[in-house]
């Protein structure tokens, strides 16, 4: 599908139709304001100024937008808080940027059934806060939880710091209301805990990155909160030793509620950025939490013993809740701290836990071989790491090395039986790599589903597998 012509910028009837359907305050055409709807947090992905940004507040608004877009064959790029790291929300030339942040109502929070029904623009934090007031919690915990929206979390099947124990967003999604490319709206999924009636259509939309439909309502499961977690940190002389510790801990059947890894580059940068004082000798730090109440101390002692056996030089357990939160905050500060070294190309690969140490070791070899800086952070407990390549976007040679490192890391992950993305998604950044991971039949099946639901490739074109080779 070719990009729409630039003449669409002057196609005022389309803008008039959108204004008549939504009202002038929901239609943005000012180029300076449109710039804020251009791209997500993946700064090194291609993007373009949208033709127009639309800000619906209801499902009916979304239906009207899609009917107009379908009539005029205008591409639509769904957006939320624009915190994504794969370019999935980046606008394309002549597109309508459909941003759902104004759809921010918590429609229902049922304590008995332990479900919440929310519009897609509700943030993860807002849902957590509302659930807490009723004695419940929403467990998914992406690093951007304070800003990222539930709709965006669902569209990318977001992970997070606590998914080692509780799983990614898909585990909590019961049902969805979605608007299709032709403007039809439907409910897929269920409200109940169990349900096997027919194909699991909701699963198609979770993680589809806006290529199959626009999410307008989400029904999620809630839980009772766990005990206040205890936290520990272990310092290692190498990232490989830390990886081996993770392997041993998971092999022992221990599942912390949080299990994060920071390498030397990241540790040093965080120390400078926030004065966390991990120490100059630390080549890697593992941060673990246990939220099982009375058994937490015993679980952390078992983790500490295995860390020591794997070569940890220092193991420290937080003495109180404040110190625990400081350790977790160190992990959350990884990306802001690394930004001080330069622009970031954030990778996201997952490998079998047994291969974690091998994967981390290879990242170091890639950095040495190419003469570049790569900081490793990630969710070590489930084998999902984020090698973060520091790049100078004004230097073609630096960009070339960064993309080469990106490709080499992804290829090695695949060779270990892993995947090119554990939680950030494919978007634009890994579209070509997805072709490498999927066999031809699987790729054809994915395109067939796309073409069934969006035959004119209007929804987020050019993302994931949206273009037939």
Q: Is residue 113 part of a domain?
A: yes
CA distances from 137 to 60, 293, 417 (A): 30, 16, 34
3-state secondary structure of 234: strand
Instruction: Kindly state whether residues 121 and 206 are assigned to the same domain.
Output: yes
CATH number for the domain that contains residue 314: 3.40.462.40
- pTM for the whole thing? 0.92
CA distances from 173 to 118, 217, 319 (A): 11, 11, 36
**Of residues 71, 74, 92, 68, the one with CA closest to residue 8:** 74
pLDDT of residue 10: 44
Residues 6 or more apart from 385 whose CB is under 8 A from it? 261, 349, 350, 351, 356, 359, 360, 363, 376, 377, 378, 379
Task: Return the C-alpha torsion angle 465, 394, 79, 23, nearest 10.
Answer: -130
Q: CA 199, CA 379: separation in Å to the nearest integer? A: 31
CATH number for the domain that contains residue 138: 3.30.465.10
Q: CA 11, CA 281: separation in Å to the nearest integer? A: 62
Instruction: Kindly state whether residues 208 and 309 are assigned to the same domain.
Output: no
Q: Is residue 437 part of a domain?
A: no
DSSP state, residue 210: T
Q: How many CB atoms lie within 10 A of CB 12?
A: 10
**Of residues 412, 424, 360, the one with CA closest to residue 84:** 424
Q: Is residue 132 part of a domain?
A: yes
Quick one: how far is CA 131 from the chain centroid?
22
What pairing do the DSSP bridges indicate for beta strands 185-189 and 173-179? antiparallel
Q: Is residue 190 part of a domain?
A: yes
Residues 6 or more apart from 418 whose CB is under 8 A from it? 349, 350, 351, 352, 355, 359, 383
Domain boundary among 193, 221, 249: 221
Q: Is residue 63 part of a domain?
A: no
Written as six digits, the tokens of 323 are 């110190």
Tokens 């070294």, located at residue: 341
Q: Is residue 345 part of a domain?
A: yes
Q: How many CB atoms lie within 10 A of CB 395?
A: 12
Q: CA 334, CA 128: separation in Å to the nearest integer? A: 23
3-state secondary structure of 137: strand
Instruction: Kindly state whether residues 272 and 338 are assigned to the same domain.
Output: yes
pLDDT of residue 324: 84
What range does the domain containing 134 cover?
106-221
What is the tally of structural domains in the chain?
2
Instruction: Kindly state whether residues 344 and 401 are assigned to the same domain.
Output: yes
pLDDT tens by residue, the chain, 469 residues: 344 433 344 457 899 999 999 999 999 999 999 999 999 999 789 999 999 999 999 999 999 999 999 999 999 999 999 999 999 999 999 999 999 999 999 999 999 999 999 999 999 999 999 999 999 999 999 989 999 999 999 999 999 889 999 999 999 999 999 999 999 999 999 999 999 999 999 999 999 999 999 999 999 999 999 999 999 999 999 988 999 999 999 999 999 999 999 999 999 999 888 887 777 678 999 999 999 999 999 999 999 999 999 999 999 988 788 888 888 888 888 888 998 999 999 999 999 998 998 999 999 999 999 999 999 998 999 999 999 999 999 999 999 999 999 999 999 999 999 999 999 999 999 999 998 999 999 999 999 999 999 999 999 999 997 555 4
pLDDT of residue 466: 54
């Amino acid at each position: 599908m070719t990009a729409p012509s630039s003449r669409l910028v002057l196609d005022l009837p389309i803008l008039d139709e959108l204004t008549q359907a939504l009202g002038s305050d929901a239609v943005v055409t000012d180029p300076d304001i449109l710039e804020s709807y251009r791209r997500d947090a993946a700064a090194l992905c291609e993007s373009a100024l949208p033709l127009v940004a639309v800000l619906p507040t209801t499902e009916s608004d979304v239906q009207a937008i899609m009917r107009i877009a379908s009539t005029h064959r205008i591409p639509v790029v769904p957006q939320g808080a624009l915190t994504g790291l794969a370019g999935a929300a980046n606008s394309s030339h002549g597109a309508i940027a459909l941003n759902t942040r104004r759809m921010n109502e918590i429609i229902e929070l049922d304590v008995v059934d332990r479900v919440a029904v929310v519009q897609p623009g509700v943030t993860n934090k807002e849902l957590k806060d509302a659930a807490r007031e009723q004695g419940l919690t929403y467990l998914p915990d992406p690093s951007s939880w304070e800003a990222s929206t539930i709709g965006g979390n669902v569209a990318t099947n977001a992970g997070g710091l606590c998914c080692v124990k509780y799983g990614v967003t898909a585990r909590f999604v019961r049902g969805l209301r979605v608007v299709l490319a032709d403007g039809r709206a439907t409910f897929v999924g269920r409200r109940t805990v169990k349900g096997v009636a027919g194909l699991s259509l909701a699963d198609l939309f979770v993680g589809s990155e806006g290529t199959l439909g626009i999410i307008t309502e989400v029904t999620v499961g809630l839980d009772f909160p766990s005990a206040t977690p205890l936290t520990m940190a272990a310092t290692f002389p190498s990232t490989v030793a830390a990886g081996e510790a993770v392997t041993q801990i998971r092999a022992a059947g221990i599942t912390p509620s949080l299990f994060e890894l920071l390498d030397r580059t990241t540790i040093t940068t965080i120390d400078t950025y926030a004065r966390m004082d991990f120490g100059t000798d630390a080549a890697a730090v593992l941060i673990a939490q246990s939220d099982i109440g009375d058994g937490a101390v015993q679980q952390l002692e078992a983790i500490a013993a295995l860390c020591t056996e794997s070569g940890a030089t220092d193991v420290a357990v937080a003495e109180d809740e404040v110190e625990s939160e400081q350790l977790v905050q160190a992990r959350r500060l990884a990306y802001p701290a690394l930004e001080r070294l330069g622009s970031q190309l954030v990778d996201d690969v997952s490998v079998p836990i047994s291969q974690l140490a091998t994967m981390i070791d290879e990242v170091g070899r890639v950095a040495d071989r190419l003469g570049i800086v790569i900081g490793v952070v990630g969710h070590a407990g489930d084998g999902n790491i984020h090698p973060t390549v520091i790049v100078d976007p004004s230097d073609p040679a630096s960009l070339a090395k960064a993309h080469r490192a990106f490709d080499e890391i992804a290829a090695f992950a695949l060779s270990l039986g892993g995947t090119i993305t554990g939680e950030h998604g494919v978007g634009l950044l890994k579209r070509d790599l997805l072709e490498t991971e999927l066999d031809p039949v699987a790729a054809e099946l994915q395109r067939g589903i796309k073409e069934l639901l969006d035959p004119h490739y209007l929804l987020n074109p050019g993302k994931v597998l949206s273009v037939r080779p």
